[in-house]
Structure 1
């Protein structure tokens, strides 16, 4: 009878030293492992983009799975992976090693020993996405403390030659004053008028205290002011108003635009066209993707989505 046998790789410790007992355990290399557990300084590449260079601890997950980079939920979140979208991350301790490929479908982690590069590939839908034109709130500037004063003044002097008509003067002053102190804005709009034969009169049109509420993307107003007249007539009020402020949103989130979803089989180029014109283009990793930062357009027409795979094939819908 004949039997097929496959020989396994074996390192003879005697090749390294005369005393084999003085040679480290080489059995892990016989199983195809290229490194030993420990801390290595590596370039971290997320979806073909270097995001950091840091010390990464490589540990033996199990004898069968071998050695892998210990990526914690906290470190993945800092790299830009949307860990909140996957419940399995919430069940792990923040310092526990997360097996990325088992938690996120189509994800992979590869260590390039020669270049000391930890290459992480996750679907685009699993990446924290910032809309085009987005500026992080921590980079917003409240401005400087200041006193503001704006005014307009007009007046007239009437002289009549007829004895039956009276001569007279009339004056009008409009004042817009304010104080900026940290995030707070104090504003006042007042008028003053005087005409011959009448007493001078001051009128307070509006006085309010205002500040931005960044987490809510809105503005808080306290005092006398007017409602916005975007859809209905503006109405004066005295009280408190909390209103949204579209100026805090990126341009791509102002107005309506559809969300485009799909699945890429490889590193692919995504092109979106409307009426024959390319309005958006990006690149995604294998797996599901979602594009939610299209600029709203005034023209009508269906969107054509083209997925050009790494091999050259093109799918459209």
Structure 2
């Protein structure tokens, strides 16, 4: 359970969550936490999340884990991939990336994840207090109680002071740090952590860990040093997670694992503690020539020469309509027999121009088609090649399909896949088929996802929900498109749910007036809402279903007074104003009714217009008529 605490600009969490990793390694817990919520801050002050890059040799499943828990999972096409939509939090800690290929083989590597220098604006206080039980899905760790508290304060002269502490039965730690805003020279931070640990063999250890971080953007050169950092730890330094292990070494198996052979990436040995870690992330814009990125990290350990190394390079450019990318990935982890190296070349070419020549209306729709090609080669000389076609269909672009065909030189085998996705009003549907090893392995998969929302006005079915959502209520405006969305319309009652709203930000919710029925008008086509995190907020639209009428009004032969208010009896929200020549426009009128006109409170300042419309007038775009007010 999570609840916003607006006066403290924080969030109270009761249940399962993660501690922030700005100071200590992020850990999963079950308990209570009160912490500052950066979502309540301006966008410029919100959290940081890394970009995960890699190369897939086939249609692969990408799983990203942190502290043993899966935090992100998706499927990618063959070739270089880039994942930049990992939920942005301050939970630092290395990310384990697992690439599961179509043939079942798994390639794993670690991506360092540390926050940029921990700066806060002057006077800003950021805090977190956690009282909980350590949570793990590893059978090699115990779940003990612990407490953690951290504090950041934005001081004068561009400084930020920060510190914190951890306490558990077998662990004590305290840290202190200082960050500086160096203006044109970037930003740096430095901190030291002192820890006392008791391990599984009852041995006691004391140690320190020193960390330095630097970030800088060179706007004139288009260079972004997103993060440059170094951490050094003494041989006696351990983390809270280390003290939770039941043994000094072994292989971790998560609950529910059915693996018979342990993976090297699951091996741990508390004797080989972390020593030094260097990491660099650099990206460079090359104007019209494209851009490139370079990222790398190296982790050394005490009592062994083995290291973790990761080096990634990529170049992307646009040649007219052709998108071209080249990437290289090198990874070697402690305990891994051999390094993994993959070089990839990929391109994509939009086919819209070709299709629009045979279909003039194609480019006016939300339809796109493109061809992709991916070629990769590993350090053993094995080559994979894939060619694909993807297209979106229907007026709203909510139907798409993808077809791919590939070849693997290692086993001289062919593989392929085909899938179709439909984003509907009430649900999302997907069906797919893939084969590998020349058809010896085949798989059919399908999925149907959606939502059911119960509210005071009934039940509404919709697309899959996000963390924060908006309920549209527009009775009378049924089957109306929601602007800037895919496949989203109001239901037969005028209700629908807009998923994935942005918390603590103004969300513009709009109905597409062009999709309204001929006899329906909206008083307000746009509603702005600011939801809290995890909320379902209401966006209410006033829709009037009925005839559109332009009346030339008069009383005793004289036009009604300019500015008089006219209201449909029984429907106070349906009103209009008499203009300077006595004309009145009203929409959403029933076939028969009475309109009350007021220009004061005295009895002689009120009159009534009774009208009755024919079926032809009701169905007309607009009806003009004379109306006498009595």
- What's the TM-score, normalizing by structure 1? 0.24
Larger radius of gyration: 1
Select the structure that is richer in strand.
Answer: 2
- What's the TM-score, normalizing by structure 2? 0.14
Select the structure that is richer in helix.
Answer: 1
Higher relative contact order (CA 8 A, sep 6+): 1
